[in-house]
Structure 1
Amino acid sequence: MTEREREKIKLTANYRNGIAIAFLAIGGLTAGLRLINQQTPDWVSALAITAFAIIISLLLHYFARAALNDLP
């Protein structure tokens, strides 16, 4: 495996992990801001959005780690 191929794999993993972090941050912030701006907060909906964001983030992080498994 050439150094160029190794760097491509690392960049792919880094990109996927960055998307995972962004998804988690946006999902968590959206749910939190939604609770603040409502007269009667909908906790179930906020927790569902947060849980969904965490699950998607973990899956994306897993795919980033899977890309690194291709390294020798």
Structure 2
Amino acid sequence: MSVAEHGFWPEKARMVRNMWTVLLILLVAWAVLSIVGFVFEGLLWLAIIGIVLFVGTLIFGLLRQRAKRSKA
């Protein structure tokens, strides 16, 4: 049996791993923006944007993972 018959594609696995790496980097960036926004009172708007983007990125990643599981 070939690799294709087993349904295992190394390229897909690598792409999924890269997607999670990008999402993790975005989550860290949004968390840092939120902290900076809370530390400097004049940048409270930055904290709000950071929190919204953090939650949005987290939800996006979870939805993508759930969609991937339902396909398998």
Please give the range of the TM-score, normalised by the shorter of the 2 chains.
0.5 to 0.7
Unaligned runs of 5+ in 2: none
Could you say which residue in structure 1 is the equivalent of 2:48?
A: 47
- Cα-to-partner distance string for 1:20-41 (whole Å, 9 max, x where unaligned): 11111100111102321x2456
Counterparts of 1:21 and 1:46, CA distance in 2: 18
Report the TM-score, using the length of structure 2 for normalisation. 0.63
Q: Give the structure with the higher percent helix.
A: 2
Could you say which residue in structure 2 is the equivalent of 1:27?
A: 30
Superposition deviation, residue 9 in structure 1: 0.7
Q: Does the C-alpha gap of structure 1 residues 11 and 61 become closer, same or farther in structure 2, counting only changes over 3 Å?
A: farther
Counterparts of 1:16 and 1:52, CA distance in 2: 16
Q: Does the C-alpha gap of structure 1 residues 54 and 39 become closer, same or farther in structure 2, counting only changes over 3 Å?
A: closer
Q: Higher relative CO (CA 8 A, sep ≥ 6), structure 1 or 2? A: 1
Counterparts of 2:43 and 2:58, CA distance in 1: 25
Aligned sequence identity (%): 4
Letter in 2 for 1:8: E
Superposition deviation, residue 70 in structure 1: 6.4
